[in-house]
Every structure is written in structure tokens, then in C-alpha cells.
Amino acid sequence: MNLKTIGLLLLLCCTQWLHAESGYELWLRYQPVGEGALCEAYRLKNRKVMFPGETESLVAARQELQAGLKGLLGVAFAEAAALEDNVLVVGTPQSVSSFKKQLFYDEINGLSDEGYLIQSCKMEGKKVTVIAARTDIGVLYGVFHYLRLMQTNQPLDKLTITENPKLKYRVLNHWDNLNGTIERGYAGYSIWNWERLPSYKEQRYTDYARANASIGINGAVLNNVNAQAKSLRTDWLVKASGLADVFRPYGIKVYLTAKFSAPKEIGGLKTANPKDPQVRQWWKDKVKEIYSLIPDFGGFLVKANSEGQPGPQDYGCSHADGANMLAEALEPYGGVVFWRAFVYQNERHVDRVINGYNEFKPLDGEFGKNVFVQPKNGPIDFQPREPFHPLFGGMPGTPLSLEFQITQENLGHAGHLVYLGTLFEETLQSDTYENGKGSTVSKVLQNYQKTHGISAIAGVPNIGTDLNWTGHLFGQANWYAFGRLAWNPDMSSVQIAEDWARMTFSNEENVLSPVLKIMLMSRETYVDYTMPLGLNHIMNYDTHNGPESWHDDPVWTAFDYHKITKDSIGVDRTVDGTGATRQYHSPVCEKFDDIKKCPPEYLLWFHRVPWTYEMASGKTLWDELVGHYYKGVNEVRLMQAIWSGLKGKIDDERFNHVASLLKYQEREAIWWRDGCLLFFQEYSGLPIPANLEQPRHSLKYYQTIPFPHDWKGLYE
Ligand code: BDP
């Protein structure tokens, strides 16, 4: 072989190893496990698999295992006809009847509907590995877990894993409109191709279901909370049933949003009053029809009497009256209602932060047994940082479902790299003190399983038709993190990030550690260059991207959220102010209420603070604020520098994608920093220290950058 051929071969090897990737495969890439790596998986190469069973879910699980092992090990698995050493045995006691004679049979019976175990053990004297569950879906989840162990290079020889999901309903709330657009979607259009449904089923639907099942998501609300009544019309229900058919083997139930005025809009009734017998009957008939088309339909998600949506209050009835009417219709079929607590009166004299609690707290205990009340994670609206919603810990008599936003509406859309696992964890691990110390939001959610037999969590996804699903490659990590936390809300966001990075990029330390460093700093970085120290809701009025702390019109004004004057900034929400702190249990209430004890990250959320106020650091508020904005921009630059070290270590396609988005992010970070600080300076009259990079443009310039923007001149 001459040198040229060797060179060519080497090049071929390298390009195969780092072949260009679009990101479509998500974390299910199943790339070859290198022989030189930890290699447990590699030794499995000669393993055989015993995996009988022909149900839809078992077939899906077997296909996944086949695809996974083929990709990871380079060979298709061989079917074992009989037990022998090293066989992987997969199934339920129905599909593998010999499970009934095993020691672990009791353990299988103790699993929940979706639980599984993965064990290294002996069966009939042979050393085997078992993936076992009570249900087919449990088996599918177990297979994904097992593949994850291989993908992340974990030892496979002494396994004693038992997993049960800690929350029962783990649901994506798509905000997809029926015309194919997505409200607050930044990764293209809706992946539901309504025009061709139900007959044409795109491969993408199956891949979506696989991805969700791999992280334990078991429900999808298909359409926007700002609903259209026609989604409940027969022709649209038939379309939805096409998706339900694809998702069913993967354990994913379909849900729909229900527009409260549907009985009027599509039912020909004169009213939608929940006390009206005809209205109640209309919903019963509609639900019956839905179940005739989608026998495992999950239920309804409702946005009522919020931001202009119709609801029971239009008829002098309460949220509970409205929710219970729908719950009654769904109850015979096992369906549930998710009734959103995101309600606010757009009236300037009412502090929006206290609205949800004030409307729902008095209704605690009045909802039907298949109703969840669903607040967002914080009391305003998916801001980069919010304290937890005080309804968590405040509604012991009503199961609450927590709604996170995965799509980055207020976190830079799909243009900014922001790992949200840390944000999710921060909320879930916040202590409500409902039943004393340790009553974290996570525990509050889990506890409903004990007190009410149901528990739930929801996420508004960032999924669209973009080739890589989420626009930004790192947006995939947020979908992933939501799913893992929905399964186990006490998981650490660091562990989740590591799993994702290993599966998405590599198990090599020199790739893993820079990727993790970037992910774990990214959320705080975003907060720093946009809304540090408890600032909130100062983004662009329309798009929710970029700064607009100056927005002020008769309907909506950023001034309600920062209340800036030449002396001070921030909103007094203490007991002497709007009283928001009073909605929390002691000692959280006192901690937030006392300016000296209030964590600095919530300072301006709860307090009105003079510019010259001395912070714990010894700096004035102004200097500290300036420091955060500058730190934010500097850290985006640091993220760029770290990322640039990955050139050649991952494929060019994904490297370049992220590198160019980080550049874009830097520009927007500067826009935020300079725009906000120049605006605040108009009031504080204080300087940006001369040793710092000074804004290149006037406030006017930053105020007139449109979005999507025309950046001409920003660097000139
Ligand atoms: C706001 C969004 C709006 C949503 C609303 C909601 O800007 O598009 O419809 O929340 O959650 O954050 O209902």
C-alpha cells in the first residue's frame, strides 16, 4: 500500500468517525462504541438476545434494541433460542413465561405500570442480564435505559436497577396552531402535517415518539392553549387519531386543548355556560365521540379567562365549575383535565405576580378528582428567573401540575445557548415549607400521588420542522432534560447534562468537559446579560426577544415591572407593598420579605431598592447591576472560546452550527447589556466605569433595532 492510499484510508476513517451530522437523530445516534473506550458494551458483541413477544410496544422495543445494538456494536443481535450465558432476556411475565419462576418475579409485580428492572442475575444456572417489566411500556422504557447505559459508557456487568416514574402524567404541551404555525415556536413549523393526516404518517412522528419514550414522556397535547374550537370537530378528531395510532406503541397518549366556547362555536348552542344542562350534555357527547376515535385519549388542557380566552367566569361561574364540567365528561373513560392557573387581569392596579394565587387558592379542594390545576413554574410568565409559584405548597387539596417552558420564549429563542436543566432544577428543589423543611416543589408534586392518586408535570416544547428539531442543537438538551426530570424530578441537572452530552457528542473527556462547562454556565450567563438581580419582563413587548425596558403604552408598560425612577428600581412586593411575599409559607415569606435576607437573585423582584444601596458584596446596587450585565457578555465570549477548542473533535457541521450561533448570541448579549444599562442610566445618572468596554451606540440606536434585526452598523 503506498502512502497516498494509506492517507486516503486514514481520511476515510476520520471522516467516518466524525461524519457530518444534522442533529436529526437527537440523543439516539447510536454511534459505534470505540473498542478502546470503557468497552463493556463492546464485549457484548457476541451476546445473544432473547426477546419474544408480538404486541405493538414489544415490537417497537425490539426494533429499538436492534437498531441500538447494531449502531453501537456494529452487528445485528442474534436471537437466542434457549438460555445460555451472557444472553440478554427482555420482556414481561406474559412474554417470557419463565420470569414467573424467578426470584425477581415479586419485584416485577411490585413495579408500577411503567416501571422496569434491569438486573444481572442467574436464570436456570446461566448468567444473564434481564430487562423486565410488568407492562410492555415498562419493557420499552427499560430497553431505552439499557441502551443509554451503553451510549454513556457505563459498566454493564453488575446491574441492579429498579425504576418507577415519580410522576404519573409527563406531558408535552405543544402550542401548535392548526394552520401549521407554532405560538412561540422558533424551530420552524408544526411537525403535525394536518393536511395529510390521518392517512399519511410521516417517519418523523415515529421518531418523535421514540425520542419521547426514551426519556419517559407519556403524553402530548397536540394544539395551542390559545385554542380553536374546530380542533374538536369530527374531521379534526379523525386527524388527531392518526397521530394517536403512531404514538400508542410508545406509550404516548394524545390530549387536546378545549376551547371553552366550543359548544357555541361548533355545537350550535346559544351558550357555553357550565351550569346549562345542554352545554354539559354537549361536552359529554363530544367526549364520547373522541373516545370512539381515540380509545386511549388523555384528556383536555384548558386556558380559560386568561389573555382574552373564554371561560366560566364569563357566566359568573368559577374555574372549578368549568373544570368540573369537563372532568365529569371525561371521568368514565379515565381522562383528565389540566386547567391552567396562568390567569391575570391586565389592570395596572393589580400586581400580576399575586393574581394566580388569589384566584385559585380560595378554590382549593373544589375540583373534581380527575382535575389538575396547572400553574407555570413562577408567578409571572416564564421569565429567565422567577421564584417558585406560591400555589406550590398552597393547594394541598388539589393536585397541581407544574408547567415549564422548554421553548425559549424569554431566553433568546432558538438563537441562544441556554441549558434549562438548571432552571428546572432550581424550581423543583425550591423549598415551599408546606409541611416544614424539605417540602420542595418536587416533593409537593410527588406527594399528590399519595394524597390524590395522580401527579403530573408539563412542558411547552421547542420542537418544530427544523432538521435538528429544536433550531439550536443545544435546545435538544432542554427537551431531554424536561423528560428526565418529569420521570424523576429529583435528578440532578448536572447528571442529565452529562448523559445528554455523552449521547449527543462523545464519551471522550476532551469533548465532554468543555461541553458541560458551557451548558452549566449558560443559564446564569443569560440571566446576567438580560435580567439580573430579580429584574423581569423587560423584554421586547411583541417578540419577547431583546431588551425593551423602555416600552410604555396605555395597555402594557415595562415600567410596571421595574418601576424605575431616578432614586430607585424594583417593585415592592413585601407585606408593606403588594403583599406577594405573604403568599409564601414561613420562613420563605420572611426571607423574601426582608431585604437583608432576600437572595440577591430575587432582590428587585421583591424589593424597591435605591441605586446607592449597599449590597452584601460592598458594592452599590448600580455597580453590581453593571457588573452582572458585563459578566454576562464576557461569559458568552468565554463560551465561544471554549467551544472553539472543540474544532476537529466533533464533526464540522455541528461545530460550525453552534459556533455561528454563539457569535449571534454575543451580538444579542451586547444589545441587551448596552440597551438596558443606557436606559437605566437615564434615571440613575451614574457612570459605567471607564475601565469597561463602553457602549458603542446611543440608547436611541439600541431602542430602534428591530427584530428580526438589521444589525448594520452595530460593529461600526
Ligand atoms: C405567554 C405567551 C403567550 C401564551 C401565554 C400562555 O407570550 O404566547 O399564550 O403565555 O401561556 O407567555 O397562555
Model pLDDT for residues 668-716, shown as the tens digit of each residue: 999 999 999 999 999 999 999 999 999 999 999 999 887 776 555 554 4
Atom index in ligand 1 nearest the CA of residue 175 equals 9
Residue with cell 461524519: 19
Q: Is the confidence at residue 420, as pLDDT, over 80?
A: yes
pLDDT for 708:
72
Q: Is the confidence at residue 55, as pLDDT, over 60?
A: yes
CA of 183 to the centre of ligand 1 (A): 8
Express as a percent the part of the chain with pLDDT over 90. 90
Distances (CA, A) of 378 to 36, 386, 401, 527: 47, 5, 13, 15
Q: What angle do CA 73, 656, 176 make, to 5 degrees?
A: 85
Neighbours of 382 (CB within 10 A): 22
Which residues on neighbouring strands pair with residue 78, listed in sequence order?
48
DSSP state of 652: H
Cis, bond preceding 198 (omega within 30 deg of 0) = yes
Q: Is 307 part of the annotated catalytic residue set?
A: yes
Distances (CA, A) of 420 to 45, 116, 427, 519, 599: 37, 28, 11, 9, 20
pLDDT for 155:
87
Q: Is 614 part of the annotated catalytic residue set?
A: no
C-alpha span between 239 and 241 (Å, rounded) = 5
Residue 420, all three cell numbers: 434549562
- Residue among 175, 184, 405 whose CB has most ligand 1 atoms within 8 A, to mutate: 184
Task: Output 36 or 262, whichever has higher pLDDT.
Answer: 262
Does any ligand 1 atom lie closer than 6 A to the CB of residue 673? no
- Residue by residue, DSSP assigns 573-640 as -STTTT-GGGGSPTTHHHHHHSTTTS-GGGHHHH--EETTPBPTTSSBHHHHHHHHHHHHHHHHHHHH
Choice among 409, 425, 499, 668 that is catalytic? 409
Q: Is 180 exposed, middle or buried (0-12, 13-18, 19+ CB in 10 A)?
A: middle
**What confidence tens digit (pLDDT) does each residue in 541-560 have?**
999 999 999 999 988 899 99
Does any ligand 1 atom lie closer than 6 A to the CB of residue 381? yes
Residue 50, all three cell numbers: 432473547
**What confidence tens digit (pLDDT) does each residue in 195-226 have?**
999 999 999 999 999 999 999 999 999 999 99
CA of 304 to the centre of ligand 1 (A): 12
Q: Is the confidence at residue 116, as pLDDT, over 60?
A: yes
Does any ligand 1 atom lie closer than 6 A to the CB of residue 541? no
C-alpha span between 138 and 58 (Å, rounded) = 10
pLDDT for 716:
40
C-alpha span between 594 and 364 (Å, rounded) = 29
Neighbours of 14 (CB within 10 A): 11
- The 3-class secondary structure across 482-514, one letter per residue, is HHHHHHCCCCCHHHHHHHHHHHHCCCCHHHHHH
pLDDT for 706:
77
Q: Whose CA is nearest to atom 12 of ligand 1?
A: 381
Distances (CA, A) of 520 to 460, 481, 644: 21, 13, 17
Distances (CA, A) of 304 to 220, 223, 531, 678: 20, 15, 30, 39
**What confidence tens digit (pLDDT) does each residue in 166-191 have?**
999 999 999 999 999 999 999 999 99
**What confidence tens digit (pLDDT) does each residue in 20-49 have?**
899 999 999 999 886 544 455 556 666 799
Q: Is the confidence at residue 3, as pLDDT, over 60?
A: no
CA of 306 to the centre of ligand 1 (A): 10
Atom index in ligand 1 nearest the CA of residue 460 equals 11
- Residues 227-240: what's their mean pLDDT? 98
- Residues 342-364: what's their mean pLDDT? 91
Q: Is the dihedral of CA 399, 403, 404, 410 positive or negative?
A: negative
C-alpha span between 442 and 543 (Å, rounded) = 31
Q: Is the confidence at residue 10, as pLDDT, over 90?
A: no
Task: Output 346 or 50, whichever has higher pLDDT.
Answer: 50
Q: Pick from 543, 553, 413: which is nearest to 472 by CA? A: 413
- Residues 86-100: what's their mean pLDDT? 96
Which residues have CB under 8 Å from 246's CB, separation 6+? 201, 205, 206, 209
Atom index in ligand 1 nearest the CA of residue 303 equals 13
- Residue among 339, 374, 381, 540 whose CB has most ligand 1 atoms within 8 A, to mutate: 381
- Residue among 183, 301, 307 whose CB has most ligand 1 atoms within 8 A, to mutate: 307
C-alpha span between 354 and 390 (Å, rounded) = 9
Residue 147 half-sphere exposure toward CB, CA atoms < 13 A: 33
C-alpha span between 300 and 229 (Å, rounded) = 12
Does any ligand 1 atom lie closer than 6 A to the CB of residue 225? yes
C-alpha span between 84 and 126 (Å, rounded) = 6
Residue 356 half-sphere exposure toward CB, CA atoms < 13 A: 27
C-alpha span between 175 and 303 (Å, rounded) = 12
C-alpha span between 210 and 213 (Å, rounded) = 5
pLDDT for 9:
46
What's the chain's Rg over C-alpha atoms?
27
DSSP state of 388: P
Neighbours of 192 (CB within 10 A): 26
C-alpha span between 151 and 148 (Å, rounded) = 5
Q: Is the confidence at residue 8, as pLDDT, over 50?
A: no
N-terminal to C-terminal alpha carbon distance within the chain: 55
Q: Answer for the pair 333, 377: CB distance below 8 angstroms, yes or no.
A: no
Does any ligand 1 atom lie closer than 6 A to the CB of residue 709? no
C-alpha span between 19 and 13 (Å, rounded) = 10
Atom index in ligand 1 nearest the CA of residue 410 equals 12
What pTM value is reported for the model?
Answer: 0.96
